[in-house]
Amino acid sequence: MSNFQIKGLANYKSTYQKSVDDPKAFWDAVAAENFVWQKKWDKTLSWDFEKPEVKWFEGAKLNITENCIDRHLETRGDKTAILFEPNDPNEKALHISYNELSDRVNRFANVLKSNGIAKGDRVCIYLPMIPELAVAVLACARIGAIHSVVFAGFSSTALATRINDSDCKMVITSDGSFRGDKTIDLKSIVDDALLDCPVVATVLVAKRIGSNIQMKDGRDKWLQPELDAASPICPPEVMDAEDPLFILYTSGSTGMPKGMVHTTAGYMVYTAYTFSNVFQYQEEDVYWCTADIGWITGHSYIVYGPLANGATTVMFEGTPSYPDCGRFWQIVEKHKVNQFYTAPTAIRALAKESLSNVSGHDLSSLKVLGTVGEPINEEAWHWYDEYIGKQNCPIVDTWWQTETGGILISPIPNATKTKPTYATLPLPGIQPALFDENGVELNGNNQEGRLCIKHPWPSMARTIWGNHNRYRETYFSAFPGTYFTGDGALRDEDGLYRITGRVDDVIIVSGHNLGTAPIEDAINEHLFVAESAIVGYPHEIKGSALYGYVTLKDTVGDMSEEELKTEINALIAKLIGPIAKLDKIQFTNGLPKTRSGKIMRRILRKIACGEMDNLGDISTLLNPEVVESIKESALV
C-alpha cells in the first residue's frame, strides 16, 4: 500500500507547504515511491499556460493496468477488486478478485486486438454499470487504445456525435440495461447512432438482459464467445507518460461537447494519491462511489484511483429508489461499506423520504461520507451528517471537474476540518486563486471571485480532442497565466473555499453538467420554434432545474401549447438525452436582447427565480417592452 497518506492536521499543513514550495520535488517523490514504472522519467514537469502545454513525468514508460492490477496479484490476488451489486436485490452480488479481474482484462484486451484495435485507436464504450464496463476500460488501457466512455443515458444522436468527433473504430455495448423496474434497449440506440458513423467497423455486445436483438452481419459480435476463445495473457503495452489514456466528453456553454483528453502517468499518480487521502482508505475497507463510470467521477474514483490503491470498489447497477428508497442503505449494510461517495441530488431526494428507509439499516461500518458534482446545501449536509454519518463520519465535500481529472479542493478526514457547504482546503499540489471580473487577483481572506488554479497538477486535461484552440480559449484566456474553472467561489475568514456555482452558461441539473446552447439548438430544430433561451432556477431536489423561454413562429398549425411542450421535450430527449428535458416551458412573444442582439439571460434568470422586482436597468435593451409581458405570464 502507498506511503503517501496524510495523517492529521500538522501533516497536511507541512505536506501542503512542501507541495507549493517545490511542486516538482513533491510529485517526484510521490510518483517514484508508490508506482511501478517500466522506465523512470527524465523530467518531472514542463509547463506553459500560454500555449498551453503541460507535461508531467516526461520520458517515463508505464502501463496503468500494471499499477491497477498486476502489481497487486502477489499480495492481494484473492482480495475483491470489484464488488458488483446488481439492480435487482435478489440477484447475487459478484465478488471479482484481483486474480479474476486480471484474467478478464487480459482476455478482453486480446479480444480488442483480434478485432483490429491497436495502440492509439479510439474505442467508444456505451455500457450500463455492469462489470464489463470497468473491464472494457482497463482492457483499452492495457493495449494503449484510447477509451471514450459515453454515459448510457445519452440518446443515439448524442452518441453518434461523440463517436464521430473522435473517430472511434469500435463500439462496446450490451443488449440492454436494467434500471429499476425498467429495461432499456441499448443495442437499438447504438444501431440508430451507427447509421451516421462510417468509421465504426465492429460492435461488441455484452449480454445482460437477454432480449432479442438484431445483430448486423460482419459488424456485430457477441462478447462472451470472443472472451472464451481469447488467451488470458496479454502483455501490457509500453506507454509514454503523456500518451492519451482516455477521452471524456463534457458540455460546454456553447457548441459541441468537449472531448477532454487525459494522459497516462499524471492522471494515474494524481487519482491514486487523492483517492488514498480524501477517503483515507485502509487495506480491509470496502469503498463505494455511486456515480456512473460514464462520468469522470466513475473513471477516477470507481476504477483507476481505487484499483491503483489495491482497494475493493463497489459497482452498483441500480438506482437509489428501487425497489425502495432504502436501497443505498441496504447495500451499505450488506457489504459493510466504509467509505460512501454520492451526489447532493441523491441526498436531497432520499432526505425527502421517510426516515424509516434509513433507520432499518445498520450503517455502523461507515467511516467517511463524500459528496460531489454540485454545491451541497446546508440542509442536505446536515441530514447526511446526522442520519447517515450519525455525526461520526467526516463529510468530504469534494470539488473538481471532468477537466481536472481528480479532486482539487476537499477536506481530508481527521486532518482538515469540515464546514457545511464548504469544500474547504486545496489538496497538496493545488494552488487556487480568486480573481475579480477585471482579472485582478483577490488576495487575503473574505473574498469572493472567480476560481482559478495557478500551477499545473498532474491530472489536468491536456487538450480538447481535435481542438486545442478551444482548450486555450475556454480555460486559459479569461485570466491569462492561470487555469479558469468556470466556477465562482468565496474564501472565508479562515481561508476555506465555498464553491458558489458556475459563472458561465453551464447549468448543473442533478449533478449533470448541461450547456444551455446545445439545448437551445435542439429546441430551435422544432419546425414551429423561432428562438429559445434556457436558464437555471433553484430546485429542491435537482439543485438546479431548466426553465425554457420559447418564441414560436407565426404558424403553429392547430397545435396546442401542451402538445408543443411535449414535442419540444421529446426533441431534446432525442437529440441530447432525457436528462436535458425542460422542467418549465414558457412561450413568449420575444426575448429581451441587447442592442447588439445578444439575449439577456441575466434578466430571464431573475424572472425564472421569481425575482421580478430586481431586474436592474432594462432601459438599454433593444426591446424593453417584452420583459413586461414575460413577467406577466412567468411560471413561478
298 binds ligand WT7 (CB under 6 A): no
Give the residue with the Cβ less far from ligand WT7, 143 or 372. 372
* Closest CB 543 distance from ligand WT7, rounded Å: 9
CB 395 within 8 A of CB 342: no
Indicate whether 247 belongs to the interface with ligand WT7 (CB under 6 A). no
Residue 73 vs residues 78, 79, 100, 287, 542: alpha-carbon distances, Å: 8, 9, 10, 19, 42
Quick one: 180 or 420, whose CB is closer to ligand WT7? Answer: 420
Residue 455: exposed, middle, or buried by beta-carbon count in 10 A (0-12, 13-18, 19+)? middle
* Comparison of 377 and 414: residue with beta carbon closer to ligand WT7: 377
- Min CB(199)–ligand WT7 separation in Å: 26
Cβ proximity to ligand WT7: between 327 and 502 the closer is: 502
CA atoms within 13 A on the CB side of 578: 3
Residue closer to ligand WT7 (CB basis): 241 or 464:
464
Q: How many residues bind ligand WT7 (CB under 6 A)?
A: 22
Pick from 277, 297, 309, 510 the residue near ligand WT7 by CB under 6 A: 297
Distance CA 215, CA 203 (A): 9
Strand-by-strand arrangement of the 244-250 sheet: 220-222, 202-206, 170-174, 122-125, 146-149, 244-250, 258-263, 463-464
Interface with ligand WT7 includes 487 (CB under 6 A)?
yes
Q: Radius of gyration over alpha carbons of the chain, in Å?
A: 24
Q: Shortest Cβ distance from residue 295 to ligand WT7 (Å)? A: 6
- Supply the minimum distance, in Å, between the C-beta of residue 66 and ligand WT7: 26
Query: Beta strands of 86-233 (E only): which ranges?
Result: 94-97, 122-125, 146-149, 170-174, 177-179, 182-184, 202-206, 220-222
* Nearest residue (CB) to ligand WT7, 230 versus 278: 278
Rounded CA separation 141/328 (Å): 31
Nearest Cα residue to 249 out of 48, 457, 467, 14: 467
Judged by CB, which is closer to ligand WT7: 66, or 397? 397
What is the footprint of ligand WT7 within residues 392-421 (CB under 6 A)? 397-402
User: Least Å distance between CB 398 and ligand WT7?
Assistant: 5
The mark string for 357-396 relative to ligand WT7 (x by CB under 6 A, - otherwise) is ---------------xxxx---------------------
Nearest CB to ligand WT7, comparing residues 272 and 296: 296
Rounded least distance, CB 511 to ligand WT7, Å: 6
Of 34 and 345, CB closest to ligand WT7: 345
Are β-strands 529-539 and 543-552 bridged in parallel, bridged antiparallel, or unpaired? Answer: antiparallel
Which residue do the cell numbers 434500471 mark? 179
Among 147, 187, 208, 502, binds ligand WT7 (CB under 6 A): 502
Q: How far is the CB of 230 from ligand WT7 (least distance, A)?
A: 34
Quote the CA–CA distance of 599 and 614 in Å, as a whole number: 18
> Binding mask 102-131 vs ligand WT7 (x if CB under 6 A, - otherwise)?
------------------------------
Strand, coil or helix: 95: strand
- Footprint (CB under 6 A) of ligand WT7, residues 503-522: 508, 513
**Nearest residue (CB) to ligand WT7, 85 versus 374:** 374
Nearer to ligand WT7, 35 or 383 (CB): 383
| Interaction residues for ligand WT7, span 565-584 (CB under 6 A) | none
Which grid cell is 538? 433553484
Which one-letter amino acid corresponds to residue 264? T
Q: Site for ligand WT7 (CB under 6 A): which residue of 45, 109, 141, 296?
A: 296
Beta bridge partners of 316: 85
Distance CA 498, CA 481 (A): 23
What secondary structure, in 3-state letters, does 29-61 show?
A: HHHHHHCCCCECCCEEEEEECCCCEEEEEECCE
Q: For ligand WT7, which stretch binds (CB under 6 A), given 295-303, 348-356, 388-396, 522-530?
A: 295-303
Smallest gap from residue 502 Cβ to ligand WT7 (A):
5
State the nearest-atom distance from the C-beta of 498 to ligand WT7, in Å: 8
Q: Which of residues 175-194 bind ligand WT7 (CB under 6 A)?
A: none
Angstrom CA distances, 89 to 317, 325, 326, 355, 365, stand at 10, 13, 11, 20, 20
Query: How far apart are CB 400 and ligand WT7 at their closest, in Å?
Result: 4
| Cβ nearer to ligand WT7, comparing 173 with 271 | 271
369 and 377 Cβ atoms separated by less than 8 Å: no
Distance between CA atoms of residues 275 and 398, nearest Å? 11
Angle at 32 between CA 26 and CA 37, to 5 degrees: 145
**Which parts of this chain interact with ligand WT7 (CB under 6 A)?**
250, 295-297, 372-375, 397-402, 423, 485-487, 499, 502, 508, 513
